[in-house]
Structure 1
Amino acid sequence: MIPPTATAPVRPPRWWQHLYLQVVVAIVLGAIIGHVWPDTGKALKPLGDGFIKLVKMVIAPVIFLTVVGGIAGMRELGAVGRVAAKALGYFLVVSTIALFVGLAVANVVRPGAGMGIDPATLNAGAVADYAHQAHETTLVGFLMAIIPTTMVSALTEGSILQTLFVAILFGISLSLVGEPARPVFDLIERLTLIVFRIVGILMRVAPIGAFGAIAFTVGQYGAGSLVQLGGLVATFYATSILFVVVVLGIIARLHGFSILKLIAYLKAELLLVLGTSSSEAALPNLMTKLEAAGCDRAVVGLVVPTGYSFNLDGTNIYMTLAALFIAQACGVHLSFGNQLALMAVAMLSSKGAAGVTGAGFITLAATLSIVPSVPVAGMALILGVDRFMSECRSLTNFIGNAVAAIVVARWEGRLDRARLDATLAGSR
């Protein structure tokens, strides 16, 4: 019998209890069922949708509690604005690089060249809904949407930026009030423990969600849809890998850590993103793991949620690559000046449609609608494989935000380097 003052030894999980292994098995089984029994795969869609809804249910509380606790724990309120400014500066630079990478690869590989598509023969109705959503989503509208109707509605309407906005205001006010607000701060700390325990419970059903989502994707769209446009999909995946390994790898190396070790550390979350095609599915776990790796809570709370709207590296690569693919396929010549204009528009439109379901496809529609030389109807060419590219977009966005949080934490002197090195070295 263990004495009351003793601590029971924590037994390491057995190999079949690792989340990443369970998700891998679920993805493989889901893909097989979707391929062999497509109708069954389509019918499993509620499993994936249900899991994503479960995770989204706790995202607002996680962000609110993390940000409020982090800001209120800061001794220097000026650090909040400094962290936000550094994060936005980082996002702007890296997002621009991502757009350039997509543009460069599209010009070198030319995946749409020689297709000879007549825009008049394309089914414009297939992408009409996306084009309409893109038209309705403007940069001004996006900025106004950051302000919630009420403080409470920010936690109930599912908007990450609204939640972040209210959390920053609440955290600053809590800090300014000082000692009289100490009981509220203590309550925030205790609620944080409870909410993250809820996240841990929800993650136990992650393999079921990944199983249903991947079964639906393969059953609905079929692996056969990849054959015709396999070159575009392969080019996009290769470009994204190149961006992660080279661009993010150099950034990581300059800041004292390995991108490959970081990927290994986040493998369970990355597999979850792959299976569900949603980076939001792994948002709570990402924040938890970054804190565990030595990043300051306030930095993680500010950088990661903001990055989910402003640091979309995968989406940026996709927009320039897909836009040039459509232009090449339809025989539309774009000069270097036209391509730079396209990139500038993509930079703005990627912010205007942030947080919208199917944001990658919608931002592409927004970009093409402002660049009239490339037909919006050309999006019908890639509609069938967009779901497969969506997974890669989400993975790249996820890794990019993990790197951003570590980099900004180091810039702020709020990174425990020894703890980060030990954590990444121990990942396997």
Structure 2
Amino acid sequence: MKRLYSNLTMQVLTAIALGVLVGALFPTFGAALKPVADTFINLIKMLIAPIIFLTVVLGIAGMGSLKKVGRVGGKALLYFEIVTTLALGLGILVANLTKPGAGVQAVAQAVLRDGKKVEEAAKFTSQAGEMNWVEFFTHIVPGNVVEAFAKGDILQVLLFAVLFGLALNRMGKMAEPLVKTFDRLSHAMFGVLALVMKLAPLGAFGGMAFTIGKYGIATLLPLGKLMLVVYATMFLFIFVVLNLIMRYYKLRLWPYLTFIKEEILLVLGTSSSESALPRMIDKMERYGCSRSVAGLVIPTGYSFNLDGTSIYLSIAVIFLAQAFNIPLSLSQQLSLIAILVVTSKGAAGVTGSGFIVLASTLAATKIIPVESVALLLGVDRFMSEARAITNVIGNGIATLVVAKSEGEFNEARHQLALQGRSVPENERPEPVAELPLVGVCHE
């Protein structure tokens, strides 16, 4: 029993259940616990920039061929575009079949009459007006590297890490002392992460208590069908689309989900996919992917492979059109997919990015009033967990696909992970048949 409660999965599950209970019974107190969740997420964010930098630099420096670096990056981006487009298409298809916006016209009109909610929506609209794909690409290049690390801008840190890694790669043996130092720093950073993760139950408790305490279960009822459709579509995407992709590469979905269950629960409790980012790099390495592939694909995927966000955006657009009785032709819906492919990349890493992307898409199409996003304010927090969990699962699978296609997948390490005895890449196991039963690093 003691061993069961010392397990991080059980601790986070218990914390989530207690958070729901506290939020429902003591809503004022629950809403006041937001700083607890925010502090934990900040502890994780504190480590994201250095971990991404060190992992990407070490990965590229150790790849050998620069052509290989370009090939891995190219495959990852191609996969991201194909899968996110599939996610957008699936969202629009399901929204058209289920019609979640039908029957909520009265609620929609009441929301637009609520000045406070429209004012909140206007805030996102103004931010959307400032966000476009040209600014997104120019923003990738930092004006100051130190500032990029200080702000924790993932894309800017990633670009600098890629360039730094390429430079070390070209230096050859001269770079070896620095690479060894970076490797030691990387181990130290993951050691700090292990310490921070001991506070994960506290962060999950605070996040869930805040969500239930502030928004309340009752706020879900008018838009319950929309939530049901969003969750069902993401379930369908994971267990059908992503499952088929994994089967094609001779991998199984359920063992993979079991392996990353702690990260999934952490995201569920905190509503932040960033809280799992550093751990996912380590987990995918332990699951069989090479450090170089995991270190490059996972951080890039957090900006370019947002499957859950794509599904939510496509359903939300159709939902708003139905709620405000605005018929959309097939060509209009196809144009929405095309615009979402671009705009879904344009607010990566921005707080409230789901609303910003949605508002910028509506502003670009000029078919649905931008202020209509106010209708989603009450339930968005409850759908953010589904978005974040789907994003995390999708990024891990993208890493597996790229690693498999590049021959950068260690089957012996993978089998150890399936047995619950995972080891990092630098502790290379012998072939599975010859593995000893003792002396293996347990997680």
TM-score band (shorter)? over 0.9
The unaligned stretches of length 5 or more in structure 2 are 422-442
Q: Which moved more, 1:117-126 or 1:307-316?
A: 117-126
Identity, % of aligned pairs? 49
- Counterpart of 2:247 (choices 253, 257, 269) is 253
* Distance in 2 of aligned mates of 1:170 and 1:394: 30
Asked if 1 retains the 8 angstrom alpha-carbon contact of 2:242 and 2:394, the reply is yes
Question: Is the counterpart of residue 374 in structure 1 residue 368 in structure 2?
Answer: yes
Aligned amino acid, residue 73 of structure 2: A
Aligned amino acid, residue 19 of structure 1: L
Question: Is the counterpart of residue 409 in structure 1 residue 403 in structure 2?
Answer: yes
> Aligned ranges for residues 321-400 of structure 1 at < 5 Å?
321-400=315-394
Aligned amino acid, residue 60 of structure 1: A
Aligned amino acid, residue 44 of structure 2: V
* Distance in 2 of aligned mates of 1:152 and 1:116: 50
Asked if 2 retains the 8 angstrom alpha-carbon contact of 1:122 and 1:378, the reply is no
Question: Is the counterpart of residue 218 in structure 1 residue 249 in structure 2?
Answer: no
* Distance in 2 of aligned mates of 1:170 and 1:314: 31
1:85 match: 74
Asked if 1 retains the 8 angstrom alpha-carbon contact of 2:125 and 2:371, the reply is no
SS in 1 for 2:326: coil
Question: Is the counterpart of residue 94 in structure 1 residue 88 in structure 2?
Answer: no
1:369 positional shift: 1.1
1:41 match: 30
Q: Which moved more, 1:352-361 or 1:52-61?
A: 352-361
* Distance in 1 of aligned mates of 2:418 and 2:156: 33
Asked if 2 retains the 8 angstrom alpha-carbon contact of 1:261 and 1:425, the reply is no
SS in 2 for 1:291: helix
- Counterpart of 2:259 (choices 259, 265, 287) is 265
> Aligned ranges for residues 94-243 of structure 1 at < 5 Å?
94-117=83-106, 121=113, 123=115, 124-243=118-237
2:290 match: 296
Question: Is the counterpart of residue 52 in structure 1 residue 41 in structure 2?
Answer: yes
Instruction: Kindly provide the CA deviation profile for residues 107-150 of structure 1, in whole angstroms up to 9, marking residues without a partner as x.
Output: 00001113335666464323001111111111111111111122
Asked if 2 retains the 8 angstrom alpha-carbon contact of 1:72 and 1:171, the reply is yes
Aligned amino acid, residue 332 of structure 1: I
- Counterpart of 2:52 (choices 45, 63, 82) is 63
* Distance in 1 of aligned mates of 2:229 and 2:416: 35
1:425 positional shift: 4.8
The unaligned stretches of length 5 or more in structure 1 are 1-12
1:309 positional shift: 0.4
* Distance in 2 of aligned mates of 1:61 and 1:422: 28
Q: Which moved more, 1:256-265 or 1:91-100?
A: 256-265
1:392 positional shift: 0.5
What is the RMSD of the two structures over their aligned residues, measured on CA atoms? 1.6
SS in 2 for 1:352: coil
- Counterpart of 1:23 (choices 12, 37, 40) is 12
1:7 match: none
Asked if 2 retains the 8 angstrom alpha-carbon contact of 1:65 and 1:192, the reply is yes
1:285 match: 279
* Distance in 1 of aligned mates of 2:119 and 2:144: 38
Aligned amino acid, residue 229 of structure 1: L
1:4 match: none
Aligned amino acid, residue 3 of structure 2: R
Instruction: Kindly provide the CA deviation profile for residues 364-423 of structure 1, in whole angstroms up to 9, marking residues without a partner as x.
Output: 111111121112122111110000011100000000000000000111110112322441
* Distance in 1 of aligned mates of 2:338 and 2:399: 25
> If the length of structure 1 is used for normalisation, what is the TM-score?
0.95
* Distance in 1 of aligned mates of 2:10 and 2:317: 37
Asked if 2 retains the 8 angstrom alpha-carbon contact of 1:257 and 1:421, the reply is no
* Distance in 2 of aligned mates of 1:116 and 1:173: 58
2:300 match: 306
> If the length of structure 2 is used for normalisation, what is the TM-score?
0.92
Instruction: Kindly provide the CA deviation profile for residues 73-112 of structure 1, in whole angstroms up to 9, marking residues without a partner as x.
Output: 1121211111100000000000000000000000000011
Q: Which moved more, 1:102-111 or 1:178-187?
A: 178-187
Aligned amino acid, residue 64 of structure 2: R
Aligned amino acid, residue 13 of structure 2: V
> Aligned ranges for residues 2-17 of structure 1 at < 5 Å?
14-17=3-6
Aligned amino acid, residue 236 of structure 2: L
SS in 1 for 2:142: coil
* Distance in 1 of aligned mates of 2:418 and 2:130: 43
Aligned amino acid, residue 184 of structure 1: L
1:240 positional shift: 0.3
Tell me how many residue pairs correspond in the alignment: 417
* Distance in 1 of aligned mates of 2:385 and 2:305: 16
SS in 2 for 1:374: coil
* Distance in 1 of aligned mates of 2:194 and 2:345: 31
1:347 positional shift: 1.0
